Amino acid sequence: MIRFSQHRRMAGVALAIALSAGAFSAVAASVMVGGAPMLPTKDIIDNAVNSKDHTTLVAAVKAAGLVDTLKGAGPFTVFAPTNAAFDGLPAGTVDTLLKPENKATLTGVLTYHVVSGKLDAAELKKEIKAGKGTAELKTVAGGMLWAKMAGSKLTITDEKGGTATVTIPNVYQSNGVIHVVDKVLLPK
């Protein structure tokens, strides 16, 4: 016969096992970006610094003084260009943008990649459908982006007519969602 105290201990052990399993499944369910798990319990910055594919973006965010903003409550939707996307810019562009005297321009480019709210791929597709093939997104920089579907791929077009493809959608963060993109989006 099990005594009440033994029953409570067994219930405690069962609860501890269940909580451990839940924590494991949360880690297992996280998306891998740049070789690192992007944990939905961490904010945009705390996840991005671990992605080896986003070192240029992180350096730019730091140079622009946007770390505290992107660690804020949000929610934010961030279209995050990879290092390869930054490498696709004309030679010298990134180095020029990272200079202190170009902080305002850099801030404008970076905030052009951010939309207020938490727009995952399902919500973007819903807005695209409602917009008869195009969803207009106002960036926190004040510019516009246009989301469309190209077959099964989600694309984002900037004000200069450049188009980025979302390569990894729905990277959930505690303060929003990141969609990894293959091009840097540029305002007018």
- Does residue 51 contact residue 36 with C-beta atoms inside 8 Å? yes
Tell me if 44 sits within 8 A of 15, measured CB to CB.
no
The four Cα atoms 95, 43, 147, 129 give a dihedral, to 10 degrees, of: 180
Measured CA distances, 74 to 87, 91, 117, 136, 175 (Å): 29, 33, 7, 20, 5
The lowest-confidence range among 88-97, 127-136, 138-147, 151-160 is 88-97
Residue 21: pLDDT band (50, 70, 90) is: very low
Helices (H) and strands (E) in the chain, counts: 8, 9
Q: Which long-range contacts link 160-163 to residues 24+ away (Cβ below 8 Å)?
A: 160/186, 160/187, 160/188, 162/186
Residue 6 has pLDDT above 50, yes or no: no
Q: How far is CA 140 from the centre of its chain?
A: 15
Tell me how far the alpha carbon of residue 186 is from its chain's centroid. Answer: 17
What is the tens place of the pLDDT at every residue in 24-83? 333 335 787 877 788 788 888 888 888 888 888 888 988 888 888 888 888 999 999 999
pTM: 0.81
More confident residue, 152 or 34: 152
Q: What share of the chain in percent tops pLDDT 90?
A: 56
Domains and CATH numbers, the chain: 32-181 (2.30.180.10)
